[in-house]
Chain A
Amino acid sequence: MLRFLLRRLAVLIPTFIGVSIIAFSFIRMLPGDPVALLSGERVMSPERHAEISHQLGFDRPIVIQYLDYLWGVLRGDFGTSISTKGSVLEQFLQLFPATLELSICAIIVAIVLGIPAGIFAAIKRGSFFDQSVMGAALVGYSMPIFWWGLLLIILFSGILQWTPVSGRISLMFFFPQVTGFMLIDSLLSGQEGAFKSAVSHLILPTIVLATIPLAVIARQTRSAMLEVLGEDYVRTARAKGLSPFRVVGVHALRNAMIPVITTIGLQVGVLMAGAILTETIFSWPGIGKWMVDSVFRRDYPVIQGGLLIIAGIIMLVNLVVDLLYGLINPRIRH
C-alpha cells in the first residue's frame, strides 16, 4: 500500500508543476492589461503605468516571475489580488467553505437518491420504474444547468415565493463565522430560525448542482449492478435460494460499488464546473463566482492562484479515490 501511495505521489508532483506552469503562462497570455483596468475610462499616463507594472513585478522576465511565484506557492503565498489588494489564499479560504458546503450537500443528495434509484432500477430492469428513472437521469444528464437554475428561480422564488432568491442566509441573522459552513454556524449560533433560513437558502442551489452528478451516479449504479447481477456467482447465490435482498445486499452491492466510487470521485471536477454556473446564478459567495468575476476583472493573481488551488484539490481527491479503490479492490495495487 505504501509503495502504491508513493508511486502515485511521484506522478502527482510533476503534474502539479505542469499545472502551475499552465496556470501561470495562460494568465500571462491574457489580452488586456490589468494595470490599465485599474483606472477604468480614465487614461493612465505611461510613467504611472510603468511604475505600477514595476510595483506588481510585471516588468521582470517571465521565467523569473514564474520561479518567484512557484517559490511563493511553496511557502503558501499565492500572491495578492490586483483589484482588492488582499491575499489570494486568504480570500480563497474565506470563500471556499461556501463552495464546499454547497458541493457536499449536492453530492450527498446525488448519492442518497442516485444509488438506491440505480439499484432498484437494475433489480426491476425494464419496469416502469426503471424506465422513468433512466429517462429522468438522461434528462438530468443533458440539462443545461444554468437554464435549469433560472427556471427554478422563476418558479419557486418568483411565482410561488417559497424559497429566497439568493445568498446563504437571511440578513437578520448575524453570527461569527466559526466553521464557515452556514448550516453548522447557524446551529452553533443558537439563534432561532437561523438554521431553517440557511437550509432554505441552500435548497435551490443544491438541486441545481446535484442534477448532473445525480443522473450520472444513478446511471452508473444501474449499469454496474446489472453487470454484477449477471455474473455467475450471483446467479449461483440466487439459485441456492438466497433472498433477492440478501443477494443484492451482500454479494452484488460490494462489487458494484467499485466503479460507482470512481464515478463519485470523478464528480468533483463536475461539481467545480457546476459551481461556476450555479454560484453565478444564485449569487452564492463561493469559489466559482470568485473565479468568473476575476476572469472578467483580469485579476491575474486570483485566476492563477485559483486555478492552481482548484486543480490541486481535484488531484488530491482523485488520489484519495484511487487509494479507496485500491482498498476495496486489492487486485489493482500491484
Chain B
Amino acid sequence: MIRKLTFAAALLAATALAGAANAKTFVYCSEASPEGFDPGLYTGGNTFDASAHPVYNRLLEFKKGTTEVEPGLAESYEVSDDGLQYTFKLRQGVKFQTTDFFTPTREFNADDVIFSFERPWKEDNPWHKYVEGASWEYFAGMGMPELLDKIEKVDDHTVRFTLKRKEAPFLANVAMPFASILSKEYADKLQADGKMNQMNQMPLGTGPFTFVGYQQDAVIRYKANPDYWGGKQPIDDLVFAITTDAAVRYQKLKAGECHLMPYPNAADVASMKADPSLKISEQEGLNVAYLAYNATQAPFDKVEVRKALNMAINKQAIVDAVFQGAATPAKNPIPPTMWSYNDAIEDDKYDPEAAKAALEAAGVKDLSMKVWAMPVARPYMLNARRAAELIQSDFDKIGVKVEIVSYEWAEYLDKSKAKDRDGAVILGWTGDNGDPDNFLDTLLGCDAVGGNNRAQWCNKEFDDLVTKAKEASDQAERTKLYEEAQVVFKREAPWATLDHSLAIVPMRKEVQGFVQSPLGDFTFDGVDLAE
C-alpha cells in the first residue's frame, strides 16, 4: 500500500495541514528559538513573536500594518497640558488566560499594570532580579528609568503615569513588547510557590493565544484563547516550528509543513513567486543600512568629500548583489513606511566622473581609507562583506583605495563607537517603536556621539530640530520638524544611506488575514486558513 514510509509521513502531514474538520492548526516556521518567554527580559524580535504578541497585550497596541498606536488594554488616554501626565482608562471585563498551570480568579485591573511597570523599574521589586542576569534591556534602552517619575493607581481601572520631562515618543514606547502586561495574581502565586522562574518558561497573559508547551529549539505550541477580549481566533492551534536555515524553511513551506515563514533567502524569492501554491507579501522594513564616515577625521570632516564619496557608490548594485533586489536604495535615514518620511528629497546621483571631479575640487588626492564590514547578517544588510567589496570597487573607480576590515560582532560594535575611529563603518538600525525620534535622534543626535552616532556627527541645526520634535506633542508639528531635519541630513551627508531592506513574507495560498507589520513583528491574531 505504501511504498515509502516518508511518503506516508508526507501524506499524513498533508491531511493534517489541510485542516481536519474539527481543529485548524496554523504552523509558522520561525527563524530562531525564543530566548525565553518573558518579553521584558529580551530584545530579540523572534522572542517577542513567541511571547509578547501571541500571549500578552499592552496598554496601547500598534494598529495592524502601521506604526500608529491604538487602544489596547487601555480604552483611552489623556495627556495633561504640560505634557507630563498620561492617564490611562483601562478596559473592563478582560480575563487572563486559563491554563493547565494556572486558573485566574480575577479580571485584569490597575494592579497588573503597576506590577508590569514596576518590575523592570524598581530595584526593590522582588521580580527585578528573578532570573540571573535580568537586565531589562529594552526598558533601559528606551530610557524608561530616567523618564518615569511615578505611576499611580487612581482607581481599579485608571492608572496615571507621570514623566520627568516632555517626551512625545512615550506613547509608542508603551505599545512596545517590553511593556506587555503580566498577571500580578499569577506572579504572586509563583512567588509564593517559589517557582518564579516559571514566569519565563510558561507565560500567561490576556492575549489571543494561550501558551501550551515548548520543546527546546524545536516547537512552540499555543491554542486560541477562548476568553480573549477581542473574540476567539479563527484558528484553533498555533505552532511555531523553529527552523533556523532559510533554505530549509522554504523546503518546509513548499512541502506544506508550514504555512508561513519569515526571512527567505533572496535567491529563492523568484521561484517562490512562481509557485502557484504560495503567495508573497512584501513591504519595506523599518530599517536602514548606512555607511557612516567619521565626520571628525580629515578629510571626512569636509562635507564636499563625503558628498563626493556618496556620489561614487552604486547603491542599486548593492541592492542587486546583496539582496537580489529585495531592498530599495535609501535616500533618507528613515524608511519610507515611517510617518514624516520626506519623499521630496532627491538622492545624490550615482556619477563616478562627477565624484572624481568633486574630490579633486576638494583638494583630496591619493585617498586611501578603511571600510568596516560587519561580520554578521542583519535584516538591513544581509552580507556586509559583499557590500564592502562593491563599495571598494566603486571607490577604486574614483581613485580611492579601500581596505576592508572586520571584527567579531561585539568588538565591531564597540570599536566602531570610538570618536577617533579610523574609517567608514557599515552598520544599520532596525526601528523599535516606529517613531522617527528612534532613528533621527538616537542615531544622529549630538548626545549620541561616541555611542550610537557612528558618524560622530554633531550638527546644531539638526540637533535643535529633532529635540524640538521630541518635545512637541502635536503630530503635524512633529512631522514638519522631522521633514526639515531630513533636509539638513541630506545636505550634510554624514552617512551614505545604503538601503532599506524589503521584508518579504512568503506564505501558502490558503493563508488569510495575515497583515505584515512595518515593525517587523509576526503576529497571528486574525489569521485564518481557507478550507
Contact = CB atoms under 8 A, between A and B. Distances in A.
A174 B223 CA distance: 13
Given A34-B410, A166-B252, A283-B245, A39 B427 contact: no
A167 B411 CA distance: 33
A171 B9 CA distance: 11
Interface stretch (A41-49, A62-70, A137-145, A215-223): A41-49
A262 interface: no
Given A85-B35, A85-B41, A95-B216, A162 B410 contact: no
Interface stretch (B56-64, B127-135, B484-492): B127-135
A83 B41 CA distance: 10
A321 interface: no
Contacts, number: 154
A48 B141 CA distance: 10
B414 A164 contact: no
Given A82-B133, A171-B239, 12 more contacts: A32-B408, A33-B414, A41-B429, A95-B216, A161-B255, A162-B6, A168-B218, A170-B12, A172-B17, A196-B9, A283-B248, A285-B242
Identify the 9 closest CB pairs spanning chains A and B, nearest first. Answer: A32-B410, A285-B217, A172-B16, A43-B451, A165-B251, A200-B6, A80-B132, A197-B9, A32-B408
Contacts of B407: 31
Given A85-B133, A94-B216, A42 B410 contact: no
A255 interface: no
Contacts of B221: 174
11 contacts: A41-B429, A42-B141, A42-B452, A55-B133, A80-B131, A85-B35, A85-B41, A86-B36, A170-B257, A171-B241, A197-B12
Contacts of A42: 141, 442, 452
Nearest to B450: A43
Interface string A62-103: 000000000000000000101111100001001100000000
Nearest to A91: B216
B291 to A, nearest CB: 15
Given A52-B133, A83-B35, A84-B36, A167 B216 contact: no
A157 B243 CA distance: 15
B244 interface: yes
A32 B411 contact: yes
Interface of B: 4-10, 12-13, 16-17, 25, 27, 33, 35-36, 41, 43, 129, 131-135, 137, 140-141, 200-201, 213, 215-219, 221, 239, 241-245, 248, 251-252, 255, 257-258, 378, 407-411, 413-414, 417, 427-430, 442, 448, 451-452
A109 interface: no
B246 to A, nearest CB: 11
A292 B303 CA distance: 44
Interface string A128-165: 00000000000000000000000001000110011111
Interface of A: 31-34, 36-44, 48, 51-52, 55-56, 80, 82-86, 91, 94-95, 153, 157-158, 161-168, 170-172, 174, 177, 193, 196-197, 199-200, 203, 281, 283, 285, 289-290, 298
A196 B33 CA distance: 26
A161 B7 CA distance: 9
A193 B243 contact: no
A171 B4 contact: no
Contact of A193 (B12, B27, B132, B245): B12
Instruction: Name the residue in B13, B134, B378 with the highest tally of chain A Cβ atoms < 10 Å from its Cβ.
Output: B13
Nearest to B452: A43
A167 B241 contact: yes
B146 to A, nearest CB: 10
Given A38-B135, A85-B200, A172-B25, A199 B218 contact: no
A40 B141 CA distance: 10
B219 A171 contact: yes
B5 A196 contact: yes
A33 B410 CA distance: 6
